[in-house]
Chains A and B, each alone.
Chain A
Amino acid sequence: MAHAPVLEAIDQTQIRRRPPLDVLYEWVTTVDHKKLGLMYIGYALLFLVIAGFEAVLMRIQLAVPNNHFVSPQVFNRLFTMHGTTMIFFVAMPVMFGFGNYLVPLMIGARDMAFPRLNAFSFWISAFGGLLMYFSYLGGDGLYGMGSAPDVGWFAYAPLTAKVFSPGHSTDYWTLAVLLSGVGSTGTALNIVTTVLSMRCRGMKLSRLPLFVWLMMVASGIVFVAVSPLTAAQIMLILDRYLGAHFFDTQAGGSAVLWMHFFWIFGHPEVYILVLPAFGFVNEIIPVFSRKAVFGYPAMVAASVGIGFISLSVWAHHMFTVGMGAAGNTFFVFSTMVISVPTGIKIFNWLATLWGGKIIFKVPMMFCIAFLFQFLVAGLTGIMLSAAPFNWQLSASYFVVAHFHYVIVGAIITSLFGAFYYWYPKMTGRMMSETLGKWHFWLFIIGFHLTFDFMHVPGLLGMPRRIYTYEAGRGWEGWNLIVGIGALFQTAGTLIFVYNLVRSYYRGEVAGHDPWDAWTLEWATPSPPPSYNFAVEPTVRSGRPLWDLKHPEDLDENYE
């Protein structure tokens, strides 16, 4: 037997490393929806860490009475930056990131309809976030006043007027949100156009994966909801720079006008964020229950219904301004009505789980937590939709607990599930289940410590945005528990970030379809090539991979 020389027996394949500048150039100039999606997600994660850090600082400040861990001025900046960052530079980008990455893959397309607009939308949103945080460095700038924005994330008039907010801190907020709005509108336009015009053969609207439906509905809401916000930002700029008086109550303007403009964006925004979260759950629960989703048409109808109704509920944020009986009655009922399509969704998810062969992997665990937490969030939402109840608890920590239940308990929780579910597709590696379970339990325990108990000081009268408080009001014990919960959540999130990085280098190789799933993205390699599909796919049902895996029991026979 001949032996090869030792040198020849050693694998001499050279791993071709490209210079960092080449890699950077490739990512900066890319118009590939997957890379842009990943950049959206990475950028959102960066801001998630920053905004999370701000939240921890606030909770330390409030953990004990009469605390002076930070100054009142810094505290105002912290809650403003935390809220604005979480909504505009974490939640929206991350949802659009997943939408960007997944929508073309799920509908069998090679890219988005407008790839260059897609890149522009990402970059302008990203520069919006950078501009807002530049305020920490540049706020004192050339004019010597102010620093980071400190007017709260909804920036009520007349606090934003030049006389109450001198310098440029509010301008940074306005301009950053304006830039973010332009990017959001561009991405929404892209998603709707892509879904309507770039579906593969056989992908009828009645066969769209529910995630795609929900991204389309959420994008539709963006058109209607973000435009008033952008208009309001321009009006505020005119007020501050050119002496217009749109929101100047002493010169014939109206502070309530700003409220209407803001909340006609602000409440639909909740649905812009939660609908993609519903989409994640719609994809994950059936796969880990090994059943088709229950009531697909009802789910689509409920999603579209939520989209429409969400545009008619904004003034339930304004019960305390005195809208009159007719206004209050309308917004009470419209707000309560939205619980009907939402309830349909919860029943359908439960019906999907019912009788299924449930597999408790980490993505599914997050979805189960989502179901429970979203239900509680909805129930406190119904409580707050009743105007008399709202009069009592408006601007209290009960409201803060409620909307964090929605945003963290529902949106962020399902988002974590989505990370564990699609990370193998995006990177080709599985995330660690063990670390995932540590992340899950620490985060969920922390979440409930924080936000369950946050309702109580609210009921006891603790106002939101309060810098500190006296001892003896019955708030201190609750706030301490809330602060401890925040530390649990921080620990869980840090494990998650570590898991993301570690799994990229050392995770188990995923293969193209690690979950035995049914939608088209799992028919591509992991990660998918730049062209997604070598051959344009043709589908005959809502679960094309089920049909390929089970030719004896085709879905198309039942649609």
Chain B
Amino acid sequence: MNEMNATHDQGPLDDHSRPTDTIPLPAPTAWPMVLALGIALMLGGMVTHWAISLLGLLMAVPAIVGWFFDVLPHERHVYVDVHADVIEIKSTRETLAHLPLDERHRKLLPLETFSVMSGVKGGIAGGLAMIVPAALYSLIRYHSVWYAANLLAAGGFVSWAGESNAFLAQFHLRGLLAAMAIHGLTSVLIGLLYGAMLPMFPRWPILTAGFVAPFLWTGILHSALGIISPILDQRIDWSWFVVSQIAFGLVAGFVVNLHVKVRTPQFRSLPFSVRAGIHALGDEEDKAP
């Protein structure tokens, strides 16, 4: 870093007077350091003596002025001689190992998949569908459509932990709002998660969402519900819960399946003839997961 020795012509120069084979760089200046020291001394005077603050002020003011003239009306530059040695960029490795995944060493990801937003939309639709079996359960078991909503909301209200089934079967605006918030947020998040997983499982979205995911999700909740919402854990009917999960999944998967797949960045790596539709993809690419 001794190139600064090879500098010349400080001060503003236009392009015509600039030496050839040089690069303009900001000129070195002591003013930032002096200003920093001045400010530090001004504050340091508060814990030592006012004279130190005065000294700091006397340093800071000329530093501000000096800095001002460093950049206005024209920024000061130095012109540094360029030593344009050509550096050969090459790998020190003689062999390039290709992983045995593909003829090319890179694993090809899907060329088309569903968008993340399709998962979110599926989550919203599934969330709406899930209300039907939940309300049916409430009606059949407790003769009120509000029981399931209040039970869900009770997880958020500590004071509802000891309430009776009769209380939970009544309409409570607070409970309805809380249940809507919990259910809406969870549905969107599950949809988002589903959308993020779609590129990994792009085939048969109705099967994945309608059956595999509900059983996985039910398993996770079964093990964790005692911590998340003890009241829900005590009173939940798991068979009805599975039914409502399947309703959610089937509708979510159906909505996702309605969406057109979008091309992934991998599509751009295909030969032009394939992208233009002149040649079809071979079997091998079709099978790429």
Q: How far is the CA of A15 from the CA of B93 in the complex (A)?
A: 36
Q: How far is the CA of A558 from the CA of B268 in the complex (A)?
A: 7
Partner of B265, one of A35, A183, A558: A558
B32–A241 contact, CB under 8 A?
A: no
B31 interface hit (Cβ, 8 Å): yes
- Residue with the greatest number of chain B CB neighbours at <10 A, chosen from A138, A355, A524, A534: A534
A120–B32 contact, CB under 8 A?
A: yes
- Residue with the greatest number of chain A CB neighbours at <10 A, chosen from B32, B35, B96: B32
A115–B26 contact, CB under 8 A?
A: yes
Hey, what's the 0/1 contact readout for B7-49 against A, CB within 8 Å counting as 1?
Answer: 0000000000000000101111111110111011001101111
Q: Given the interface contacts A29-B30, A141-B47, does A559 sit within 8 Å of B90 by beta carbon?
A: no
Q: How far is the CA of A30 from the CA of B80 in the complex (A)?
A: 14
Main secondary structure of the interface of A (DSSP, over half): helix
Partner of B25, one of A110, A134, A237: A110
Partner of A530, one of B3, B33, B67: B3
Q: Given the interface contacts A127-B37, A175-B43, A179-B39, does A142 sit within 8 Å of B1 by beta carbon?
A: no
A516–B93 contact, CB under 8 A?
A: yes
Smallest beta-carbon distance A156→chain B, Å:
21
Hey, what's the 0/1 contact readout for B92-118 against A, CB within 8 Å counting as 1?
Answer: 110011010000011000000000000
B269–A558 contact, CB under 8 A?
A: yes
Q: How far is the CA of A128 from the CA of B36 in the complex (A)?
A: 9
Q: How far is the CA of A534 from the CA of B87 in the complex (A)?
A: 11
Chain A residues near B83 (CB, 8 Å)?
Answer: 529, 534
B29–A134 contact, CB under 8 A?
A: no
Partner of B4, one of A26, A128, A355: A26
A141–B48 contact, CB under 8 A?
A: yes
Q: How far is the CA of A172 from the CA of B40 in the complex (A)?
A: 11
Q: How far is the CA of A525 from the CA of B83 in the complex (A)?
A: 11
A531–B80 contact, CB under 8 A?
A: yes
B258 interface hit (Cβ, 8 Å): no
Q: Given the interface contacts A124-B40, A179-B43, does A531 sit within 8 Å of B99 by beta carbon?
A: no
A256 interface hit (Cβ, 8 Å): no
Q: How far is the CA of A344 from the CA of B203 in the complex (A)?
A: 24
B165 interface hit (Cβ, 8 Å): no
B26–A111 contact, CB under 8 A?
A: yes
Q: Which of under 10, 10 to 19, 20 to 34, or 35 or more describes the interface residues of A?
A: 35 or more
B281 interface hit (Cβ, 8 Å): no
Q: Considering only CB atoms, which chain B residue lies closest to A355 in the complex?
A: B99
Q: Considering only CB atoms, which chain B residue lies closest to A527 in the complex?
A: B1
Chain A residues near B84 (CB, 8 Å)?
Answer: 534-535
Hey, what's the 0/1 contact readout for A94-135 against B, CB within 8 Å counting as 1?
Answer: 000000000000000011000111011001101110110011
Chain B residues near A559 (CB, 8 Å)?
Answer: 265, 268
Chain A residues near B39 (CB, 8 Å)?
Answer: 124, 127, 179, 182
Chain A residues near B91 (CB, 8 Å)?
Answer: 516, 549-550
B158 interface hit (Cβ, 8 Å): yes
Q: Given the interface contacts A138-B47, A559-B265, does A123 sit within 8 Å of B32 by beta carbon?
A: yes
Q: Considering only CB atoms, which chain B residue lies closest to A120 in the complex?
A: B32
A357 interface hit (Cβ, 8 Å): yes
Q: How far is the CA of A550 from the CA of B191 in the complex (A)?
A: 41
B224 interface hit (Cβ, 8 Å): no
- Residue with the greatest number of chain B CB neighbours at <10 A, chosen from A141, A529, A557: A529
Hey, what's the 0/1 contact readout for B66-99 against A, CB within 8 Å counting as 1?
Answer: 0100110000000010111101011111001101
Q: How far is the CA of A74 from the CA of B96 in the complex (A)?
A: 60
B186 interface hit (Cβ, 8 Å): no
Q: Given the interface contacts A134-B44, A525-B85, A531-B23, does A550 sit within 8 Å of B96 by beta carbon?
A: yes
Smallest beta-carbon distance B23→chain A, Å:
4
B71–A28 contact, CB under 8 A?
A: no
Q: Considering only CB atoms, which chain B residue lies closest to A534 in the complex?
A: B84
B1–A35 contact, CB under 8 A?
A: yes
B40–A116 contact, CB under 8 A?
A: no
B35–A178 contact, CB under 8 A?
A: no
- Near B by CB (< 8 A), chain A positions 329-347 give none
Provide a sorted-by-A list of 15 A–B residue pairs whose CB atoms are within 8 angstroms.
Answer: A28-B30, A28-B33, A29-B30, A31-B28, A128-B40, A134-B44, A171-B46, A357-B97, A516-B92, A523-B89, A527-B1, A528-B1, A534-B23, A557-B268, A557-B269
Q: What would 15 more interface pairs be, CB under 8 Å, given A126-B36, A549-B91? A: A30-B4, A116-B26, A116-B29, A119-B29, A119-B32, A120-B32, A120-B35, A120-B36, A131-B44, A175-B47, A179-B43, A516-B93, A525-B85, A550-B96, A558-B269
Among all A-B residue pairs, the 9 with the closest Cβ atoms = A123-B36, A127-B40, A120-B32, A119-B32, A124-B36, A29-B28, A168-B47, A548-B89, A549-B91
Interface residues of A (CB under 8 A from B): 26, 28-32, 34-35, 110-111, 115-117, 119-120, 123-124, 126-128, 130-131, 134-135, 138-139, 141-142, 168, 171-172, 175, 178-179, 182-183, 237, 241, 325, 355, 357, 512-513, 516, 523-525, 527-531, 534-535, 545, 548-550, 553, 557-559
